[in-house]
Amino acid sequence: MKLITMLTAAAFAGAAFPVMAQDTITLKFWDNQQTESGLSQYQQEAVKRFEAENPNIKVEVTTVPYPEYQQRLLTAVQGGNAPDVSTLDQIWIAAFAKAGAIMPLDKEAGEAGVTPDKFFKGAWESANYDGKLWGIPFNVDVWSFSFTNNALLKEAGVDPASMVTFEGLKAAAQKLTDTSKGRYGIGLFGHKGEDTVVVMDSFIFSNGGKVLDDNGKCALTSPQSVEALAYLQSLVPYAPQGILNASSGDMRELFLNGSLAVEFWPALEQPTLQKSKLDWDFVVGHAPDGKKPIGTYGGWNLAIYESSQHKEAAWKFVQFLTREDVNGAVVDLIPANVKAAKSFLEANRKGADRIMAHLENAAPRPLSARYLEVSDIQVSLAQDVYSGGDPKAAAQKACAAIDALN
């Protein structure tokens, strides 16, 4: 049973913020625990600071690994044991909102001066659904940046600057591929995972296409979207074999061992590369000549649950975590607060200005309560394209399935 169907089975009663009592209350906060991060440590430090600023509020933090997180939240909501506030993956917001599990925050944001200009445009858009604001952007990243093995580029005589265009990337991929040496130009992957979808989306967006139009109908059959799909298909000869079963993690391994020249990853890849012995850099996306690369947003929003008995305290906590002076200290991706992001990137990432530019151009994935099903259909589309199917026919098949969801 899909997320929206399961959520709708539960009942939620909305209420205005109650007046907070002076007695100490306990606020339940849930967050995704990403592997290879110290997020829990940062959370605890932030909690201590928040509690010092708000002596009558205690925060109980629960972190859940990503593979389990959505189901744990769903089970808690259905059982009437939802947290007061949690992070929600951008792609979950619409389903939780439509089911009535979380509360709209337009009034609270307006009164507190929590305005769109404080956050990246695409991140703010990801929290808006059906004309209302359902969360506050917490952290972000962009799929994708194209990380390059500088030694391989130099050996093949490829200028990284030439790769910003579709034409330049394809020409570079051809030069960088030498199957006799086990070397490949482009790290394409098409397994059943969201990383497959977001990379495909970035090429579609950069060519002026969309996944869904403004009315929620499938737009993958537009000329711009089909052209992007055909372009991705044209890169297949320069990618390692086994694309349909390969993930971004598989491409990372090939990149780290020196057999892959270009891998697609968000900026989160930088800490791994900084620990490696590779001479690396990155290109900020790809677009046809004359167009601007548009990445696909990933990240998390903070939402307050309708069942919470402590909405006022929860709102205080959301405001605290997204403040400029706090946001950069409690995320392991990139702060969604623009000013906090600038400081964070300058301190922790190579090419901070280039990353900021890509963040400012990036677009969210479709805002749909049926997004998880849309994503599954897009994976099938990618597999059809990468296996040699006609891109237009594959897009028509995908659109028929997507439009049948409504």
Using a pLDDT cut of 70, give the percent of the chain over it. 92
Could you give the 3-state DSSP secondary structure of residue 263?
Answer: strand
**What is 20-140+298-361's CATH number, 2.170.120.12, 3.20.20.70, 3.90.245.10, 3.40.190.10?**
3.40.190.10
Whole-angstrom distance, CA of residue 89 vs CA of residue 22 = 33
Spatial distance between the Cα atoms of 145 and 349, rounded to a whole number of angstroms: 13
pLDDT band for position 11 (50/70/90)? very low
Least confident residue range of 37-41, 50-54, 215-219: 37-41
Q: Considering only CA atoms, which of 270, 261, 255, 264 is closest in space to residue 350?
A: 270
Confidence tier at 16 by pLDDT (50, 70, 90): very low
What is the model's pLDDT at position 274?
94
**pLDDT at 381 exceeding the cut of 60:** yes
Using the predicted structure, report yes or no on whether residue 348 has a pLDDT greater than 60.
Answer: yes
Residue carrying structure tokens 């506030």: 85
How far apart, in whole angstroms, are the C-alpha atoms of residue 57 and residue 55? Answer: 6
Q: Are strands 184-186 and 57-65 parallel, antiparallel or unpaired?
A: unpaired
- CA atoms of 297 and 127, how far apart (whole Å): 12
7 confidence band (pLDDT: 50, 70, 90) = low
Burial of 41 from C-beta contacts in 10 A (0-12 / 13-18 / 19+): exposed
* Cα–Cα distance for residue pair 94/367, rounded to 1 Å: 6
Nearest CA among 172, 401, 368, 39 for reference residue 47 = 39
Mean pLDDT, the chain, as a whole number?
Answer: 92
295, 143 contact by CB (below 8 A): yes
Residue 34 confidence (pLDDT): 57
Residue pLDDT, tens place only, 125-161? 999 999 999 999 999 999 999 999 999 999 999 999 9
At residue 44, the pLDDT reads 76
- Tell me the per-residue pLDDT of 178-229, one tens digit each, with 9 for 90 and over: 999 999 999 999 999 999 999 999 999 999 999 999 999 999 999 999 999 9
CA 324, distance to chain mean position in Å, is 21
328 residue type, one letter: G
| Number of Cβ within a 10 Å radius of residue 117 | 7
Cis peptide before 180 (omega within 30 of 0): no
- Express each pLDDT in 17-35 by its tens digit: 444 445 899 999 999 875 4
Q: Which CATH number fits domain 143-296+368-403: 3.30.460.80, 3.40.1410.10, 1.10.3720.10, 3.40.190.10?
A: 3.40.190.10
Domain with CATH 3.40.190.10 in the chain: 20-140+298-361, 143-296+368-403
- pLDDT band of residue 378 (cuts 50, 70, 90) is very high
Size of the chain in residues: 406
Q: CA–CA separation, 341 vs 358, rounded Å?
A: 12
pLDDT of residue 22: 58
285-322 exposure pattern, b = at least 16 Cβ within 10 A, e = fewer: bbbbeeeebbbbbbbbbbbbbbbbebbbbbbbbbbbbb
The 10s digit of each residue's pLDDT in 248-303 is 999 999 999 999 999 999 999 999 999 999 999 999 999 999 999 999 999 999 99
- Measured CA to CA, the distance from residue 289 to residue 237 in angstroms comes to 22
Vertex 266, ends 264 and 272: CA angle to 5°?
A: 90
Confidence of residue 63 (pLDDT cuts 50, 70, 90): confident
Torsion of CA 301, 307, 313, 317, to 10 degrees: -10
Strands 260-265 and 184-186: parallel
Tell me the pLDDT band of 406, cut-offs 50, 70 and 90: confident
